[in-house]
Structure 1
Amino acid sequence: MKRDRRDLLRDAAITVLAEAGGRGLTHRAVDAAAGAPLGTTKNYFPTRDALLQAVAERCVEHYNDVAGPLPTNREELVAMLRGLVENVAGPGRPRLLAYLELQAEAARKPWLADILDLIAASDFARFAAAQAAAGLPVSEQRAATITLAMQAAIPHLLADGPGTLAASGLDDPDTFVRGLLEAVYPEN
């Protein structure tokens, strides 16, 4: 039961970070978001750093939960990447907003950067594996280009600025993904 309460509080903290930003992440705000009695969050995570660590670890857990099967061809890779882009504006939005808030905190807290690095570093391996499984002539540089482009798209998708989305092609996820793959792996 204690583990369930911890997870409830960590998920509530993700919601708070997504809705109120880093400044809004307080023990009281997490208590309220979790529907828990005042002081509950502080009992589990006594300091703000402990709360940030718990949220970062929860984001890593959620990240690891979303890995699906590897694509077996280029079209399946397009569908996978398109799904990731669409997820940013959909069900993944709160987690990704919280993740970006944590990254801003990590710029000042190296210990937090170490936790978040598990997600960023995993992306390189996962995207390389997906490209290889799809039958593309993957290289370290090509895998890095796809990974960094996908990661760079996240803040723009979250900000939802129509001019930026249109200029980058992110207003049409399918076209964006196909263009990215064509730039890295021309079909000739």
Structure 2
Amino acid sequence: MGNQDRRERLQDTAIEVLAEHGGRGLTHRAVDTAAGVPLGTAKNYFPTRQALLRAVAERCVELYRDVPRPAPGDRKTLVAMISALLADVAGPGRPRLLAYLELQAEAARAPWLAGIVDAIAEADFAAFEEAQRAAGLPVTPERAATVTLALHAAIPHLLAGGPRTLTATGLDDPAGFARDLLDSVYGRAGDGMP
């Protein structure tokens, strides 16, 4: 295994550790143990806790950029896309998103980290605005931001999985939530809206 492969493996393991154990649980020893490598390996690649956090944040940015983003051709396809993204939060995307939320909490106290994780949010706002435009919706920056902020606000609730909250917010039905969100921002699809 080459140095770059080992580095990425350690970064991916650090994401899992951060997701499972939170910010306090992210230690070099925990990463080494979870990765099944000799103690001191993570510290060799990322000498300080700040370096380890930076590595996790940079890997989250890389993973975010690797997510395919097909352009939805209509509103129905956009609903399906949003629904799939919401379902992913509680499914395969769970560790990455838990780690991202932990990074955001850390960034509240570490401005250097805020600059890295902000790249994900910035790209997300642009991607969702473009998706709404591609779906033929009458996009304005404010409408696009409202949809994106609502989706971001849904993430912690989906991760926590509280059944009463999910039911009360409609998040227990991701497709219904996506439809209702777009209806709230753009009007109902059958009311002369795309």
The one-letter code of the counterpart of 2:66 is: D
SS at match of 2:172: coil
1:34 is matched with: 35
2:72 is matched with: 71
The CA distance in 2 between the partners of 1:168 and 1:108, in whole Å, is 30
How many residue pairs were aligned?
Answer: 188
Cα displacement string for residues 137-186 of structure 1 (whole angstroms, at most 9, x for unaligned residues): 10001000000000000000001011111111001111100000100111
The CA distance in 2 between the partners of 1:23 and 1:180, in whole Å, is 36
Please say if 1:49 is aligned against 2:57. Answer: no
2:82 is matched with: 81
TM-score by length of 1: 0.99
The CA distance in 2 between the partners of 1:20 and 1:69, in whole Å, is 33
TM-score by length of 2: 0.96
The CA distance in 2 between the partners of 1:70 and 1:37, in whole Å, is 44
RMSD: 0.6
SS at match of 1:8: helix
The one-letter code of the counterpart of 1:184 is: V
The one-letter code of the counterpart of 1:113 is: A
Please say if 1:152 is aligned against 2:149. Answer: no
Query: Where do residues 105-144 of structure 1 align in structure 2 (5 Å cutoff)?
Result: 105-144=106-145
The CA distance in 2 between the partners of 1:135 and 1:40, in whole Å, is 50
Gapped runs of 5+ residues in structure 1?
none
Q: What stretches of structure 1 move > 3 A for 4+ residues in a row?
A: none
SS at match of 2:138: coil
Identity of aligned residues (%): 69
Cα displacement string for residues 27-77 of structure 1 (whole angstroms, at most 9, x for unaligned residues): 000001111110000000000000000000000000000032110111110
The CA distance in 1 between the partners of 2:35 and 2:100, in whole Å, is 19
